[in-house]
Amino acid sequence: MESGRQIFQISGIKNRDKKKSLIKGINKLGGKYLGGSIYKHISTHLIIPQVLSSEKFLAACAAGKWVVTPDYILDSVKNGSWLAEGQYEVAIFTSSSAAFYPVRQWREKVSKGRITGAFQGWRVLLMVQEPTRRAMFKRLLKAGRAEVYNSPPPTYTSITHVMAKPVTEESSSHNAPCYPVSHIVQHLFGSNCMDMNFNMNDQMVKEKTHFQEDNFFHFEAELKSFVTNKEEQPRLRFPEFLGYHDPDRPHSQAIVADLSNVGSMMECGLFNEALDSIRSDAFPGLLPPATHLISLLEYAQQGNTTAIFLRNFHEVMVNLLLINPPWSAPGPVKKYYTQVLQCPQCKAGLWPFLETAIRYCLSSSVTCHPLPGPSLPAVVQFHSDILAFFLKLFQGELCSISIGNLALLQPTQVPPTPTSGSLLYGTFWTVWERSTLLSRAVKQLTQLIVQAAATYSAKREEKQKMYLADTLLHLLSVAVEFWCQQHFRLNQCLVEKGLKDLSEHFAVISQDLPPAVLVELLGCVRSSRLRLVMADATFRNLCCRNEFTVGDGPLSLKKMVCSYLPALGALAQRPSGAGPTSHSCTSPGTSRSQNVLVNETSSEKENTLKGLNRVNVAGETLLHRACKRNQVETVLQILALPGTDINVKDHAGWTPLHEACNHGSTDCVKALLRHRPAPVLNGQVGGVSPLYDALLNGHMDIAKMLLEHAGSILLQQTDGARPSPLDLVSAPGQKEELLRSAQVGDSTRRNKETQVLNLPLLEAGSGLLGHLVVSYQLERGLPGLILPNDKPHSLVYKLVRALETCSLQKVTVGWTDQRAVRLVEDVETVLELSQGKHQEQVSVDVKECKGENTTFLMKMLESLRSCGEALVADL
């Protein structure tokens, strides 16, 4: 329990508004609310309107907790502080005139230390066939500190009670009294239970039986359908292009106009007059000769014209695009645009022309042919207008293709637009490159984006805007969305690989940018799916270069909370003068296992680490195996390798720390705890944490070491179905030792220096993680997961109800779609945050940081926590 903090559960209040007001009052007074339909042992108070035959009430009674009416919260809010609970304790007025307080006797006995629970000393053989009921009665008995066993009981245990439903000849054959489960109520309330009219049959479990294991498969189908539909939806929409057509003059009739007088004007050097003539003759379906536009473009690039001419030429091109859009026209019109949109001298295609315009705006001398220099402001503006024109052209084409893809999803009379001859394909991909997102042109565009951002960074003091980088990022977003839409329906794995390759390429080439500029740059990415993968790769690269490994497993909300949040503390404590490490953990085509020690010549080390990259049939790495055998030298060598994932899991989910704690490898535990980043100490597999594993196997020295490292928060870990870690220790002296070690850990954590040593690095990490959380919800989050809606029957609420009664493993057993599993895991993570779990993932210095990005990220986490509370409150 959190010291001095009141922790509440609520039962029997179905009115949603009343329940929300109670939760609001609890939070206002500094208390904590735990949602869910099952009893949580860390609670201190239960709020009920009247005595109920519910699991929470009976368990709270057996555990000696306060059980009060809702008026306790309402009156405390009016008072401004917590009132004494006594006058609000739930009571029953029986047939006699005196009130009966069903919980008081057990609460007073527990508070005075006379007993630890109403069932103390009971060793119960629980023989209940139905799994949901058995789990409920087990939680109820354990709340009263009974030891519960399944049939057959261990040979070394002397059973004191047999609890059966139904009572059969087999249940009565054991050497212990046999009782029906109703004996629980009789023991708690004695003769008064007749007046309380309790029913131990279906009433207590009626809500839980809705979720049977064989019904969970429909969740996978629903989640899979949700993911597929969301992936197929276009990310970038441009409604302004929907009306670019003229029904009176179809574009299939577009012809090239005979403007011989314009040619004569240009031969005489009258370029302004020629341009005016073309502008006045602009009509839908009528195209000016491509040679005239090419000549005018060549004249504009020479640098001898006026700014007015350049601006008028840009207007002519934009107007041409509006009245004769290539995406609504046949092949000859697209060919016309391909002929016009290239360098008038080099004639090498669309991409070289576009690249030249970008490089001229960057004052670069690397262009397809020499242009007037130094860069003239008017010509720079002209090339900037060319980029804007290309962007509008590609936006319109993407919009048209998106409509065609939507037509395939929802059949209509609109035929899909063919994409084989699209200008987007012709600009960024050759015929041989269309199966990869990271084509030569896309690579060059990405490098130019980084170059534009670096130019902006060098001139930030001059308040230069990131206009160019923003435009280029918009171009990249449009190109990426086009490519993804073309390939997703046929090969989703290809799309995922393409996005990963591009994001890791960007993370590597952008790592020399100032962190603040990098965060601002990613904020300009329009495509949510592109921003998601780029923010993820960049954050991992930033952590890896600062000697903190976060692992490269599939991205999920749990990974962000349990792996990425601790990384912020490491970034905050990275000394400002310490430069990043030279290795990169995200370079394309290079796995972590290839990042070996530099100048490693020792044959002994070569032999020791020979099996570094091998896993056995159980999924155990060399680090797992070394921890099991207490081979500390091997462990130290592995941890010294850059990119080592200290929290790597085997097929069952066990980490190296779990194995070391289980097998009593004290030296290996010391080595793991000294490593930076430190291993995750609160990870559980089926409710078994490293501390639980150590105590379960009698390794007190390791248990004390863990508590001295992390504090009393580890003692609070339990899944509700198992005893708490302290319950595994029977000797009072050993419990005192563990509590002292926990106090040492708490003191160390409190006294730890909270000053942020590297605010820019922390702000960069927080900014990237903020982009990541927002983009993740847009791309992969379930509706209502971050902002709960008023639809209790929606998929999110169904999952919440399922997770309240069953574990994640049980809900997803037998599922084959990992995307669906991760969505259920996301819901579980939000619920865990609402219960106060994962608080230790955020270090004190990060929580107290006043930086803009970090403060915003902390508010996002608080919003997630509140969302979990709201989800449970609405059930």
* Per-residue model confidence as pLDDT tens digits over 439-474: 999 999 999 999 999 888 777 655 567 889 999 999
Q: Do 720 and 818 fall within a single domain?
A: no
For tokens 């053989």, the residue is 125
Cα angle 818, 822, 827 (rounded to 5 degrees) comes to 150
Residue type, 579: G
- Residue 407 pLDDT level (bands cut at 50, 70, 90): very low
Please report whether residue 566 resides in a domain. no
Residue 257 is predicted with a pLDDT of 56
pLDDT for position 204:
46
| Beta bridge partners of residue 100, listed in sequence order | 92
- Same-domain check for residues 798 and 718: no
In this structure, of 411-420, 422-431, 614-623, 785-794, the range with the lowest mean pLDDT score is 411-420
DSSP summary character for residue 84: P
Verify that 250 and 396 share a domain, yes or no.
Answer: yes
- Written as one string, the DSSP assignment of 274-339 is HHHHHHHT-BTTEE--HHHHHHHHHHHHTS-S-HHHHHHHHHHHHHHHHHS-GGGS-HHHHHHHHH
Which pLDDT does position 651 carry in this prediction?
83
How far is residue 203's CA from residue 230's CA, in Å, rounded to a whole number? 40
Residues 774-793: tens digit of each pLDDT? 999 888 888 777 655 555 45
Inside any domain, residue 550: no
Q: Which of 111, 139, 160 delimits the end of a domain?
A: 111
The DSSP output letter for 685 is B
Most confident of 18-27, 481-490, 524-533, 826-835: 524-533
Question: Which of 23-32, 172-181, 627-636 bottoms out in mean pLDDT, i.e. has the lowest?
Answer: 172-181
Spell 171-185 as b/e; 16+ CB within 10 A means b: beebeeebbebeebb
Residue 372 lies in a domain: yes
% of the chain beyond a pLDDT of 70: 81
Same-domain status, 309 and 191: no
Which pLDDT score, from 0 to 100, does residue 210 have?
Answer: 43
CA distance 324 to 254: 8
Distance CA 472, CA 450 (A): 10
Looking at residue 249, its pLDDT comes to: 44
Q: Residue 113 has what pLDDT?
A: 85
Angle, CA of 530, 525 and 533, to the nearest 5°: 25
Q: How many whole angstroms separate alpha carbon 444 and alpha carbon 450?
A: 10
Count the domains in the chain. 6
pLDDT band at 579 (very low <50, low <70, confident <90, very high): low
Note the pLDDT of residue 733.
84
581 or 15, which is more confident:
15
Is the pLDDT confidence value at 535 over 90?
A: yes
Domain boundary at 69, 85, 111, which? 111
Mean pLDDT, range 570-593, rounded to an integer? 55
In this predicted structure, what is the pLDDT of residue 577? 59
Q: How high is the pLDDT of residue 789?
A: 55
Domain membership flag for residue 554: no
Q: What distance in Å separates the CA atoms of residue 243 and residue 231, rounded to the nearest whole number? A: 26
261 lies in the same domain as 382: yes
Assess if residue 728 is contained within a domain. yes
Residues 648 and 698 in one domain: yes
Query: How are strands ordered across the β-sheet holding 66-68?
Result: 32-33, 7-10, 45-47, 66-68
**Would strands 286-287 and 147-149 be described as parallel, antiparallel, or unpaired?**
unpaired
What pLDDT, on the 0 to 100 scale, is given for residue 100?
67
Residue 616 has pLDDT above 60, yes or no: yes
The answer to whether residue 579 is domain-embedded is no
Among the ranges 77-91, 276-290, 592-606, which has the highest mean pLDDT value? Answer: 77-91
- Please check whether residue 400 lies inside any domain of the structure: yes
Confidence of residue 171 (pLDDT cuts 50, 70, 90): low
Strands 99-100 and 255-256, sheet pairing = unpaired
DSSP lists the bridge partners of residue 125 as 149, 162
* pTM of the model as a whole: 0.69
pLDDT band with cut points at 50, 70 and 90 for residue 719: low
Alpha-carbon dihedral angle through residues 446, 447, 453, 459, given to the nearest 10 degrees: -160
CA distances from 428 to 163, 482, 633, 703, 872 (A): 72, 11, 51, 58, 49
Task: Provide the mean pLDDT of the chain.
Answer: 79
Judge if the upstream peptide bond of residue 152 is cis by omega within 30 degrees of 0: yes
pLDDT at 552: 67
Beta bridge partners of 179: 163
371 and 250 in one domain?
yes
Tell me the two tokens of residue 313: 């030429």
| Angle 251-255-256 from CA coordinates, rounded to 5° | 135
pLDDT over 90 for what percent of the chain? Answer: 18
CB atoms within 10 A of CB 287: 21
Specify the higher pLDDT residue, 839 or 87: 87
Instruction: Mark which of 62, 79, 111 sits at the end of a domain.
Output: 111
Looking at the structure, do residues 48 and 88 belong to the same domain, yes or no? yes
**Between the ranges 708-717, 725-734, 845-854, where is the mean pLDDT highest?**
845-854
Q: Does residue 585 sit within a domain?
A: no
Q: Is 856's pLDDT higher than 90?
A: yes
Mean pLDDT of 418-424: 70
The pLDDT score that the predictor gives to residue 787 is 58
Residues 409 and 281 in one domain: yes
Instruction: Let me know whether 71 and 15 are in one domain.
Output: yes
User: Residue 461 has what DSSP assignment?
Assistant: G
Q: Is the pLDDT of residue 525 over 90?
A: yes
Backbone angles phi, psi at 178, to 5 degrees: -110, 130
Do 475 and 387 contact (CB within 8 A), yes or no?
A: yes
Q: Taking the chain, what is the end-to-end CA distance rounded to the nearest angstrom?
A: 25
Work out the number of other CB atoms within 10 angstroms of the CB of residue 89.
Answer: 17
Q: Are 550 and 564 in contact (CB under 8 A)?
A: yes
> From CA 307, how far away is CA 570, in angstroms rounded?
53
Beta-carbon contacts of 135 under 8 Å, excluding residues fewer than 6 positions away, are 721
CA 331/CA 661 separation, integer angstroms: 69
| The pairing of beta strand 66-68 with beta strand 45-47 | parallel
Q: Give the pLDDT of residue 213.
A: 43
Mode of pairing for the β-strands spanning 32-33 and 92-93 = unpaired
Q: Tokens representing 165? A: 């439903």
| Mutual angle of helices 377-409 and 307-323, in 10-degree steps | 10
The answer to whether 875 and 37 have CB atoms below 8 angstroms apart is yes
- Give 209's DSSP letter: G
Burial 39-57 (b: 16+ CB within 10 A, else e): bbbbbbbbbbbebbbbbbb
Same domain membership, residue 161 and residue 83: no
Contact 551, 647 (CB under 8 A): yes
CATH number, domain of 87, equals 3.40.50.10190
* Residues contacting 741, CB < 8 A, separation 6+: 703, 704, 705, 707, 708
Give the integer Cα–Cα distance in Å for 767 and 756: 16
Tell me the C-alpha distance between 669 and 671, whole Å: 5
Helix (H) / strand (E) containing 165: strand 161-165
Six token digits for residue 753: 């220096």
pLDDT-derived band at 596, boundaries 50, 70, 90: very low
Question: By C-alpha distance, which of 588, 467, 578 is closest to 537?
Answer: 588
Please tell me whether residues 393 and 254 are part of one structural domain. yes
Range of 319-328, 408-417, 532-541, 689-698 with top mean pLDDT:
532-541
Angle between helices 331-340 and 290-301 (to 10 degrees): 20
Q: What is the mean pLDDT of residues 520-539?
A: 93
Strand partners, 89: 68
CB 159 within 8 A of CB 176: yes
Read off the pLDDT of each residue in 56-75 and give the average, rounded to a whole number.
91
Confidence (pLDDT) at 597: 32
Show the domain range for 64.
7-111
8 Å CB contact between 426 and 494: no
Distance CA 830, CA 865 (A): 6
DSSP class of residue 810 equals H
Assign 591 a pLDDT band (cuts: 50, 70, 90): very low
pLDDT of residue 193: 54
In terms of average pLDDT, the best of 216-220, 463-467, 749-753 is 216-220
Kindly give, in sequence order, each residue whose CB lies less than 8 Å from that of residue 485, ignoring residues fewer than 6 positions away.
234, 398, 401, 402, 405
SS3 749: helix
